Amino acid sequence: MIYDFCVVGGGISGIAIAEILSRKEKCNICVLEKNSKLMSESSADQHGWFHLGSLYSFLENPSYLKNLIKNIKILNKYYKNFDRFNLFVDKFGKINFKNIEDSWFSGSTVNYYVASRNNPDLFSKNLLKKLINIVDWEIKIKKFISRHNKINDYNILFDNSEEILSKTNFINYNKKKILKPTSDQINIDTDTFFLMEGLDKPMRSKKIFSDLLSSFLFNKGEYFLNTKVLKVDNKNNYNEIILENKKIIKSKNVIFSCGYGLSEFTDQISVVESPLLTVYPSVFDGNLVKLTPNNDNTINHFNHEINGEFYSVIGSGLSCGLHDENEKKRIEQKLIEISKKFFLNFNINKFHKIYFGKKVEFKSSENRNYSYKIFKLSGKNNIATIPGKFSMAFSLAVDVYKYFYNEDPTNNLKKFKYIDYKDVSANKHYNIVENYLSSL
Ligand SMILES: Cc1cc2nc3c(=O)[nH]c(=O)nc-3n(C[C@H](O)[C@H](O)[C@H](O)COP(=O)(O)OP(=O)(O)OC[C@H]3O[C@@H](n4cnc5c(N)ncnc54)[C@H](O)[C@@H]3O)c2cc1C
């Protein structure tokens, strides 16, 4: 048999792509995953922060926010018929969330604590440098606030909304939505930080993944575990996919969505390693992102649930090059240090564990590249994909569909049964806490 599509990699990008392609009638697709579970590498390592635009409002390059707004429109159009999908854009073009049990996105908010221009992180002994820091940061803050205001006021469903919203500068600046933070449970100087409710949401990654997989399997898609792809040979009308177990699979098109594994097939990617700190029980009642110009002082916190109890997943702006073990040790200590300083309920005697995950990006002239990317690999009909973020796998999937079919996918899902598959890994932080609790 010759498949129409073989997707290499069973992470979020592979499954989102396989699912959307399977919506086309009479299309044979398989997913090949080298591990014994799906969603077992970066897609399991991530901290469950679904990006809807807040963090990206801060970045210089407007293309990131543009992609995020496009992603919301894509979610609203092509994923709204999943029963547990709870985001919707109302008739005024405002983003809303339905209250559904086990939904893709949690109802709780993500609060942004942002350094104001009098924050000590902007200080420098050199007066000129200090002035530059202040002006530079003030521009970023004003853009951040203006973009939030505009997204809250504008009809996101307008045709060119992504263009308009991502280019918003100071025109919509006003202080209406700015709040004074309280220092309850956290060590924050309420005079040098302001608070704004963000657009982002915590996500239930395993539910999202399992729903996509349910739809894919209902559409007769197949997946194979413990199946590592070694290379692909191009034949006249198809590709021969050579597996580690010496077997060969034939497919007309091959899509490499294999995250860090892409480094075996292309040199167009860059990889950094980022730490996450898991703490049980939770050290803070909500979700927050603290932004300051000093990367070492930025921190974020997401609450996740296990059997009705909460634990903390804490991230930061810290990262290092691949396999830099010395730098990893320094970063681990630094993350513990800033967490201890910031969260009043954190102390070293609480159960805690740090792990590093790999962030895979398409190489670009910028220091970091958060954009999703589809690019050609050698050989006919072979492409590679990078989501940039778990959150962006949906735009990536729809664009891959359009790349091959030159038309829009259907959003008309057939009624299928939702199953929490045993072959889908839970998030790594969940497994860490679960193992700890079962060891008690
Ligand atoms: C610490 C950390 C925190 C993050 N936090 C967030 C967040 O909160 N929100 C967010 O949106 N994004 C976040 N991200 C980014 C997000 O996790 C990734 O962008 C996304 O999960 C990548 O998905 P993927 O499917 O491309 O890669 P992966 O999930 O790595 O999947 C690739 C799969 O391919 C398989 N594979 C590799 N080589 C082969 C081969 N030769 N043959 C067969 N299979 C192969 C692997 O085993 C793997 O299962 C975070 C990333 C990290 C590291």
Q: Is the CB of 357 under 6 A from ligand 1?
A: yes
For residues 13 and 402, give the distance between their C-alpha atoms in angstroms, rounded to a whole number.
Answer: 15
**What average pLDDT score do residues 188-196 get?**
95
Q: Is the CB of 409 under 6 A from ligand 1?
A: no
Q: Is the CB of 35 under 6 A from ligand 1?
A: yes
**What average pLDDT score do residues 42-67 get?**
94
Please name the CATH architecture into which domain 4-9+15-42+208-267+372-439 falls.
Answer: 3-Layer(bba) Sandwich (3.50)
Nearest residue (by CA) to ligand 1, atom 6, is 46
For residues 161 and 168, give the distance between their C-alpha atoms in angstroms, rounded to a whole number.
Answer: 11
Nearest residue (by CA) to ligand 1, atom 5, is 46
pLDDT band at 32 (very low <50, low <70, confident <90, very high): very high
Task: Please enumerate in sequence order all residues whose Cβ is within 8 A of that of 80, keeping only pairs 6 or more positions apart, or say none.
Answer: 88, 411
**What average pLDDT score do residues 3-29 get?**
97
For residues 129 and 355, give the distance between their C-alpha atoms in angstroms, rounded to a whole number.
Answer: 36
Q: Is the CB of 257 under 6 A from ligand 1?
A: yes
CA 14 to ligand 1 center in whole angstroms: 9
pLDDT at 380: 73
pLDDT at 367: 78
Atom number in ligand 1 closest to CA 259: 27
In the chain, what's the furthest Cα-to-Cα distance?
71
Q: Where are the domains of the chain?
A: 4-9+15-42+208-267+372-439, 272-360
Q: Is the CB of 258 under 6 A from ligand 1?
A: yes
Q: Is the CB of 261 under 6 A from ligand 1?
A: yes
Q: Is the CB of 275 under 6 A from ligand 1?
A: no
CA 35 to ligand 1 center in whole angstroms: 13
pLDDT at 364: 87
The answer to whether 177 and 146 have CB atoms below 8 angstroms apart is: no
Q: Using the predicted structure, report yes or no on whether residue 295 has a pLDDT greater than 90.
A: no
Locate 313 and state its tokens. 């997943």
| Residue type for position 417 | K
Atom number in ligand 1 closest to CA 14: 25
Atom number in ligand 1 closest to CA 392: 11
pLDDT at 176: 84
Tell me how far apart the terminal alpha carbons of the chain are, to the nearest angstrom: 51
Average pLDDT, the chain: 94
pLDDT at 236: 86
pLDDT at 261: 97
Atom number in ligand 1 closest to CA 9: 34
pLDDT at 352: 97
**What average pLDDT score do residues 336-364 get?**
94
pLDDT band at 296 (very low <50, low <70, confident <90, very high): confident
Atom number in ligand 1 closest to CA 388: 19
Higher pLDDT, 418 or 22: 22
Q: Is the CB of 214 under 6 A from ligand 1?
A: no
Nearest residue (by CA) to ligand 1, atom 14, is 46
pLDDT digits (tens, 9 = 90+) for 227-278: 999 999 999 889 999 999 999 999 999 999 999 999 999 999 999 999 999 9
pLDDT at 413: 85
For residues 255 and 181, give the distance between their C-alpha atoms in angstroms, rounded to a whole number.
Answer: 47
For ligand 1, mutation pick of 390, 391, 423, 424 (most atoms within 8 Å of CB): 390
Q: Using the predicted structure, report yes or no on whether residue 379 has a pLDDT greater than 80.
A: no
Atom number in ligand 1 closest to CA 228: 42
Lowest model confidence (mean pLDDT) among 60-64, 363-367, 395-399: 363-367
Nearest residue (by CA) to ligand 1, atom 52, is 46
Q: Is the CB of 350 under 6 A from ligand 1?
A: no
pLDDT digits (tens, 9 = 90+) for 118-160: 999 999 899 999 999 999 999 999 999 999 999 999 999 999 9
Q: Using the predicted structure, report yes or no on whether residue 417 has a pLDDT greater than 90.
A: no
Q: Using the predicted structure, report yes or no on whether residue 89 has a pLDDT greater than 90.
A: yes
The answer to whether 102 and 94 have CB atoms below 8 angstroms apart is: no
**What average pLDDT score do residues 64-76 get?**
96
pLDDT at 80: 95
Q: Is the CB of 67 under 6 A from ligand 1?
A: no
The structure's pTM equals 0.96
**What average pLDDT score do residues 2-12 get?**
98
Q: Is the CB of 29 under 6 A from ligand 1?
A: no
Q: Using the predicted structure, report yes or no on whether residue 60 has a pLDDT greater than 90.
A: no
**What average pLDDT score do residues 74-83 get?**
95
pLDDT at 50: 97
- Length of the chain (residues): 440
Crossing angle of the two packed helices 12-21 and 205-218, in degrees rounded to 10:
30
Q: Using the predicted structure, report yes or no on whether residue 305 has a pLDDT greater than 90.
A: yes
The answer to whether 51 and 200 have CB atoms below 8 angstroms apart is: yes
